[in-house]
Structure 1
Amino acid sequence: MFKSYITNDNLLLPPSLGEMIPQNDPVRVVHRIIEQIDLKSLYRKYSHLGSHAYHPRLMLKLIVYAYLRNVYSSRRIEELSRNDIRFLWLSGMNVPDHNTINWFRSGRLKGMLKEVFATIVKFLEAEGFVSLERAYTDGTKIESVANRYTFVWGKSIQTRTGKIAEEINELWAYAESVTKQELLQEAPLLPEDISSEKVREVVEKIDETLRDVDCDKKIKQKVKRVKKAWPEQLERYEQQEKILQGRNSYSKTDPDATFMRMKEDYMRNKQLKPAYNVQISTNDQFITNYSLHQTTSDTTTYIEHLEQYKSLYGLYPKESIADAGYGSEENYLYAQEKGINTFIKYNYFHKEQSGKWMNDPFRSSNFYYNEKQDCFYCPMGQPMRLIYIQKQKTKTGFTQEVHHYQAVRCQGCPLRSLCHKSRNDRVIQVNHRLSKLKAKEKEKLLSEEGLMHRSQRPQDVEATFGNLKNNKNFKRFLCRGKDRTEVEFGLLSIAHNLAKVAS
């Protein structure tokens, strides 16, 4: 026998949607938490004029729950709002169309979603789910929706600008040789000083000079051609350099995206693709802070990321744990100044623990240093004296001091072939301040607490990235522009946190 069923029949009483949804369903967690948080800052983005809008709390619930369900398309969210019981229960039978959903995500939430995110994290802290005193930090690169083959390279602009300057200088020299007079009192154009206005002025003067002179017709034709083409070309380069803002590249279809090497390439050949460098801090696999950056290196993102942490919660984490990608002199000093206890590895930290590294007498880091006399001693016991101090600036403008020490009497030394291959006496470079910071960090990393953090970090922050990319299948942004992609990742982070509460 089979159980009977009747289709297409009117019910005497309408069913209750809430009775069809289990009490432990994630949709109830989304509803409960978003219903309790303060959204006054979001309300201010609405006007009292015009027709009534969907309630922002309703819209936020719908989108966050959609992201929790791995649904990121606005059209798909609209479809589920019409047909899915959970969405219908969550929205109170309201069905916003995909344009409304997309505008709320890209317009209403832009510039203020981080405040909503922080409010939810504070709520989770009050509930005992998360702590803001410890932050495990790491970064990953997520591809932009931009076209992968419409790129602009900063070095190509510099190369082309240099060729233009070189050819203009040749035209100057030719015009002066033909007219037997100096056209310009100033020095030739340099690539770094060249501009569209200056090129237009110079080419115009060369054209006027050669107009009434009997010279090579090909040169005259070239002058007329460059008079029209080069100023326009340089104006385009100037606009591109404004967009680059010191970066090496950008995509024409998403100027905020920078070309980065992606590990997730299908052929595993680390192909360059337009992407954003996403940084997160986690605690017990809950995301407590996120930020998007246009630089490929994690090192330069650390200070900005922690400053945002401070702006969201009014405090810095008491403990900051990160991998070797963040171990720089600037970052160590910054954390020390802010009172943050760091457990951040540096380059060669693991290699330093190997016997091969520690027992190598020819490695400069193993040379004995006499602090009073400010000299090192080579493997033969000969002093290496300070010859000069070099000051250099990083990309962020941070100044480093590098001391150079040179050995004496390397000629005829029986260990020279094992020690170095330079023709002259060996020179080593040492950053004393960084060496002291590394030694202090090494001591903490090798302690019991450091070992605990080092084992916990990949389980905490790297596992979170694995969940976002693989379980939630979020490997490429859907929106263009840094502001919109930041909103996308913010919604994903909120969904991730609420899913953990539900589980």
Structure 2
Amino acid sequence: MAVKQPVFKPYNQAQILVLPPTLEELIPLWHPVRVVNEVINKLNIEPLLKAYHIRGSSSYHPQMLLKVVVYGYVTNLYSSRKLAAACKESIYFMWLSSMSYPDHNTINRFRGVRLKHALRSVFEEVVKLLSEEGLLSIEEINTDGTKIEANANKYTFVWKKSIQTNKEKMKKQLTEIWQYAQQVASEEDKMPEPPDFTEINSEKVKAAVDQLNEKLAAKDNADKKVKAKLKYITKHYPQNIEKYEHQEEILGQRNSFSKTDTDATFMRMKEDHMKNGQLKPAYNVQISTSNQFIVNYTIHSNTTDTNTLNAHLTQHEASFGKAPEKLTADAGYGSEENYTLLEQKQTIAFVKYGMFDKEQNENYNNKQPFAASKLFYNQEKDCYICPMGRQMNFIGTSRKRTSTGFEQTVKRYQAGNCANCPLNGACHKSSANRIIEVNVNLNRLKQKAHELLNSEEGLQRRKKRCFDVEPTFGNIKQNHGFKRFMLRGKEKVEIEWGLIAIAQNLRKKAG
């Protein structure tokens, strides 16, 4: 009896086909690469063409390179070398590139140089196309931020506090040597009073060092240790103070930066595998979303979200011609400056303030029976009534200016006789008469926000924000593994995030 053999399908690598298959046939109709191709074909790439010179050898077509790079970000290929390899290995990239094989230098130059001034307009075109299809709203947005690690060495840092400490040491050393020079100076060659070292700069340090050298170099009775110290100061202080001035210019309003990417600020990251709150050089990425599509994005070096909203809204206006009609955000944006800004732009703000969530808890309200916000205000007499029924009279106004230059006005009210009050110690802890400070404008804005947030529409928008903007960040960082920028410098980081935003929108459309 014959033994049965397994049956295999024909396999012959040398088989010649009469009608070989095309790449078009090999790509499914529903595949995301077709969405990338279709959308980019509809875009106006005129701004991108301006990045190319008329003279010189022929270049790869920017539309093809844009498709390759965007589809790379859609499929989590961020490296220029991997993108170049994919153009030779993947049928999807071969189809997009029409069997062209740009090398990694071409791709990197296109991404870092050619897209510098054109990517924003490409992103805006994509958003407008999606808006026309009814997939997103440009007028009603949710805003939030996240920190993404920079491509920078976390051990090459510069801290403002360290610079200030070193400058204080400089002041102290210069003052001590100057005072010593005054002691050993003769009557004919008397040293003047020490210069004002409250604010030191390179010119002031150099002038002081030159004068000290002139007075002490010829003094045989001068202490050798002091001379050695002056020699060290002469050699190092002038160049050190110039270095500190340059670093302070880079810092601006920031507290730190990395030497390998001076635009990156050290921030506390949520994705900390060491679980010890380690600081890393990073950028604060702000986005506005609608139905999990990214409508607007900006990159900031600020560590907090509060001071980013102005620039973010300015970009929205530049992109779409007007401010959004409605904006929803968490308590990180709930400042007087931001509320005022949104009011001026006539944007309805569903934005929480710092204590909003706690105020919704009745137990918290019961724990604060003597809070200034609980006191009755008599508008006719412009006074507050303390818990014992006594008047707290207006005593003056103070003005404060924030780090961004926004001016806040605070009114102050003081009680008349707290010493003999039976609630003294419970009502307040001060040994003098109680003083409260009231920001009238902020209270008005918070009351307005409270009413909006607790309205039926406000409740719906608060719920929607949680599964709109936050999952967008989660999808990019967790599902697609983008947790660290590959390019350095704020300009290139903006390009990279712009590609991430376009990829997110096209993934969602294909989705």
TM over 0.5: yes
Shift in CA distance, 333/182, structure 1 to aligned 2, threshold 3 Å: farther
Shift in CA distance, 187/212, structure 1 to aligned 2, threshold 3 Å: closer
Unpaired segments of 5 or more residues in structure 1?
Answer: none
Correspondence for 1:253 among 256, 260, 283: 260
Quote how far apart the aligned CAs of 1:267 are: 3.0
Question: 2:127 is paired with a residue of what secondary structure?
Answer: helix
Is 1:47 the equivalent of 2:53?
A: yes
Corresponding position of 2:209 = 203
Distance in 1 (alpha carbons) for counterparts of 2:351 and 2:373: 20
Correspondence for 1:390 among 387, 398, 401: 398
Question: 1:342 is paired with a residue of what secondary structure?
Answer: strand
Distance in 2 (alpha carbons) for counterparts of 1:194 and 1:85: 64
Deviations 1:56-105 (A, max 9, x none): 00000000001000110111111111010111011100110111101101
Distance in 1 (alpha carbons) for counterparts of 2:14 and 2:80: 30
Correspondence for 2:423 among 411, 415, 418: 415
Distance in 2 (alpha carbons) for counterparts of 1:23 and 1:248: 52
Corresponding position of 2:274 = 267
Contact 2:136 2:291 in 1 (8 A): yes
Superposed, which structure 2 residues align to 1:20-31 within 5 Å?
Answer: 20-31=26-37
Is 1:285 the equivalent of 2:292?
A: yes
Is 1:240 the equivalent of 2:225?
A: no
Distance in 2 (alpha carbons) for counterparts of 1:164 and 1:374: 52
Corresponding position of 1:354 = 361
Corresponding position of 1:465 = 473
Corresponding position of 2:347 = 340
Corresponding position of 1:493 = 501
Distance in 2 (alpha carbons) for counterparts of 1:8 and 1:412: 105
Quote how far apart the aligned CAs of 1:494 are: 0.2
Quote how far apart the aligned CAs of 1:371 are: 2.1
Corresponding position of 1:176 = 182
Contact 2:377 2:385 in 1 (8 A): yes
The code of the aligned residue for 1:19 comes to E
Question: 1:296 is paired with a residue of what secondary structure?
Answer: coil
Question: 1:48 is paired with a residue of what secondary structure?
Answer: coil
Contact 2:143 2:469 in 1 (8 A): yes
Question: 1:346 is paired with a residue of what secondary structure?
Answer: coil
Quote how far apart the aligned CAs of 1:413 are: 2.1
Corresponding position of 2:4 = none
Quote how far apart the aligned CAs of 1:185 are: 5.6
Deviations 1:213-262 (A, max 9, x none): 22211111211221111001111111111111221000011100000010
Contact 2:112 2:492 in 1 (8 A): yes
Question: 1:281 is paired with a residue of what secondary structure?
Answer: strand
Contact 2:263 2:301 in 1 (8 A): yes
Correspondence for 1:438 among 414, 431, 446: 446
Deviations 1:119-168 (A, max 9, x none): 11111111221111101000000000101111000111011111101211
Correspondence for 2:326 among 309, 319, 322: 319
Contact 1:407 1:425 in 2 (8 A): yes
Distance in 2 (alpha carbons) for counterparts of 1:480 and 1:123: 30
Quote how far apart the aligned CAs of 1:356 are: 2.5
Contact 2:178 2:194 in 1 (8 A): no
Quote how far apart the aligned CAs of 1:425 are: 1.9
Correspondence for 2:314 among 293, 307, 310: 307
The code of the aligned residue for 2:270 comes to K
Distance in 2 (alpha carbons) for counterparts of 1:117 and 1:382: 61
Identity, in percent, stands at 50
Distance in 2 (alpha carbons) for counterparts of 1:161 and 1:8: 77
The code of the aligned residue for 2:337 comes to E
TM-score, normalised to structure 1's length?
Answer: 0.97
Corresponding position of 2:407 = 399
Superposed, which structure 2 residues align to 1:98-247 within 5 Å?
Answer: 98-179=104-185, 180=187, 182-184=190-192, 187-190=195-198, 193-213=199-219, 214-247=221-254
Contact 1:468 1:474 in 2 (8 A): yes
Quote how far apart the aligned CAs of 1:8 are: 4.2
Question: 2:78 is paired with a residue of what secondary structure?
Answer: coil
Quote how far apart the aligned CAs of 1:186 are: 6.8
Is 1:71 the equivalent of 2:74?
A: no
Is 1:502 the equivalent of 2:510?
A: yes
Deviates more, 1:28-37 or 1:159-168: 159-168
Distance in 2 (alpha carbons) for counterparts of 1:153 and 1:184: 35
Distance in 2 (alpha carbons) for counterparts of 1:351 and 1:481: 40
Distance in 2 (alpha carbons) for counterparts of 1:387 and 1:273: 47
Contact 2:175 2:194 in 1 (8 A): no
Contact 2:323 2:345 in 1 (8 A): yes
The code of the aligned residue for 1:389 comes to T
Contact 2:150 2:283 in 1 (8 A): yes
Deviates more, 1:398-407 or 1:7-16: 7-16
Question: 1:224 is paired with a residue of what secondary structure?
Answer: helix
Contact 1:81 1:95 in 2 (8 A): yes
Corresponding position of 1:374 = 382
Distance in 2 (alpha carbons) for counterparts of 1:252 and 1:187: 33
Distance in 2 (alpha carbons) for counterparts of 1:269 and 1:250: 20
Contact 1:264 1:270 in 2 (8 A): no
Distance in 2 (alpha carbons) for counterparts of 1:159 and 1:9: 77
Contact 1:111 1:483 in 2 (8 A): no
Quote how far apart the aligned CAs of 1:182 are: 4.8
Distance in 2 (alpha carbons) for counterparts of 1:187 and 1:407: 47
Question: 2:77 is paired with a residue of what secondary structure?
Answer: coil
The code of the aligned residue for 1:162 comes to E
Shift in CA distance, 20/432, structure 1 to aligned 2, threshold 3 Å: same
Quote how far apart the aligned CAs of 1:408 are: 2.5
Contact 1:152 1:251 in 2 (8 A): yes
Distance in 1 (alpha carbons) for counterparts of 2:73 and 2:327: 29
Distance in 2 (alpha carbons) for counterparts of 1:377 and 1:245: 45
Quote how far apart the aligned CAs of 1:211 are: 2.0
Question: 2:350 is paired with a residue of what secondary structure?
Answer: strand
Contact 2:182 2:192 in 1 (8 A): no
Contact 2:65 2:110 in 1 (8 A): yes
How many residue pairs end up in the alignment?
Answer: 501
Deviates more, 1:164-173 or 1:339-348: 164-173
The code of the aligned residue for 1:257 comes to A
